[in-house]
Amino acid sequence: MQAKKEISMPPRSQPSERQRRFGAELRKLRLDAGLSGDQAAALIGVDRQRVSHIESGRVDVPRNGLYSLLRSYGCVEGPLFEGLLSMAQNRGKGWWDEYRDVMGRHALDLAELEAGATSGVRSHEQLAVPGIFQTADYARAICETSDGEDAAIDRYVAFRLERQRILRDDPPTPYHAVIHEGALHTRIGSPQIMRKQLCRLIEVSRLPHVTVQVFPFEAGAYSAFSRPFTIFGGMTPELETIRLAQPLGPVLLRDRPSLDKYTKIFAKLAGLALPPVDPEMSPESHEGRDSITLIQHLMYTL
């Protein structure tokens, strides 16, 4: 009876990123198996339109129906099978839903991607300290450039700080950031705000699950060539997502060639960047230039 009730639910108008991704993965598996939408519909006793809604993330598929689809599509039990089951079962709203009054779809998708990145996040930023590491004052100074009302800005800042919960969760999400030196030179707010932000960056970089590297000016133009992007790890490599920052709004990539490309780009960025902060290393043991010494130098020059 429960499965029948789920099938009869009307399509949702704005599926979340997780729901869209789940549907897209089912469609990819179906096409790879050489099955039509009508054949998939027959497997779970629904019409073709319902399969279309499932594959667009607009409706859910009952657990028994999902088992039938995955097995018929040739998806054997393993990481991908379990990952898709987990995505299908995760139907509750996240904390970010409380901010739908002020945050757009792209911001809500970002929060959901971060929360679902069980195997970690890798990010490359050029223009500012990543939001996941920002202090409240630094975040406010950025938000105030939008000329929004104070009440809305308060909500924007609160949303950005809420995203940081992934660093405090049990277990926390592994996070590796490569930040261009130019982002640390860019004056956002007062010198006091910048100093506290750089101090916060050092503080968070000492967490065992956080890696912070600075891409110095002398490392060349490769950072500018690659542009800002973030890789969100899933339960299996097939479920990773890349988010590209674009002037007209972010672009999400999920295909294997793009995932392989940006994984290699990030590896090269990390290789060219200064060594990361070592939480076990005492300050006096830094013999060469590394990320923490550069950040400290910038703090003292403000």
195-211: per-residue pLDDT in tens? 999 999 999 999 999 99
Return the CATH class of domain 8-89: mainly alpha
pLDDT at position 150: 86
Q: Quick one: average pLDDT of 116-123?
A: 94
pLDDT band at 284; cut points 50, 70, 90? low
For residue 163, which of 132, 184, 117 has the smallest C-alpha distance? Answer: 132
Question: 54: which 2 tokens?
Answer: 């499932």
pTM above 0.85, yes or no: yes
**What's the pLDDT band for 302 if we cut at 50, 70, 90?**
confident
Cβ-based neighbour number of residue 238 at 10 Å: 17
209-229 tens-digit pLDDT: 999 999 999 999 888 888 899
Residue 6 has pLDDT above 70, yes or no: no
Determine the Cα–Cα distance for residues 251 and 262; give it in Å rounded to an integer.
Answer: 13
Give the pLDDT confidence score for residue 282 in this predicted structure: 59
DSSP 263: H
Which of residues 147 and 260 earns the better pLDDT score? 260
Choose between 148 and 48: higher pLDDT: 48
- Please give the Cα distance from 209 to 172 (Å, whole number): 7
Where residue 93 falls among pLDDT bands split at 50, 70, 90? confident
- What is the DSSP code string of 193-211? HHHHHHHHHHHHHTSTTEE
The residue with tokens 């609160």 is 158
pLDDT of residue 5: 42
- At 7 the pLDDT is 43
pLDDT at 14 over 90: no
Q: Is 278 exposed, middle or buried (0-12, 13-18, 19+ CB in 10 A)?
A: middle
pLDDT at 4: 42
183 token code pair:
């982002």
Q: Is 123 exposed, middle or buried (0-12, 13-18, 19+ CB in 10 A)?
A: buried
pLDDT-above-90 percentage for the chain: 72
Stronger pLDDT, 63 or 158, i.e. the higher one: 158
Domain ranges across the chain? 8-89, 95-301
Instruction: Give the ranges where the chain is alpha helix by DSSP (H).
Output: 2-7, 17-32, 37-44, 48-55, 63-72, 79-89, 105-116, 136-143, 150-163, 181-185, 191-205, 222-226, 256-272, 291-301
Q: Which helix H or strand E contains 253, and what residues bound it? A: strand 251-253
What gap in Å lies between CA 39 and CA 239, rounded to an integer? Answer: 25
In the predicted model, what is the mean pLDDT of residues 81-102? 86
Q: pLDDT tens digit string along 159-199?
A: 999 999 999 999 999 999 999 999 999 999 999 999 999 99
Q: pLDDT per residue over 266-279, tens digit each?
A: 999 999 999 997 66
Query: Is 202:277 a contact under the CB 8 Å cutoff?
Result: yes
Percent of the chain past pLDDT 70, that is, above it, reads 92
State the Cα–Cα distance between residues 178 and 20, nearest whole angstrom: 29
Q: Could you tell me which CATH number the domain at 95-301 has? A: 3.30.870
- The amino acid sitting at 41 is A
Reply yes or no on whether the pLDDT at 2 is more than 50: no
Handedness of CA 20, 26, 32, 35 (dihedral sign): negative
What count of other Cβ atoms lies within 10 Å of the Cβ of residue 115? 19
Alpha-carbon distance of 288 to 214, in angstroms, equals 14
3-state DSSP assignment of residue 213: strand
Task: State how far the Cα of 17 lies from the Cα of 90, in Å rounded to an integer.
Answer: 12
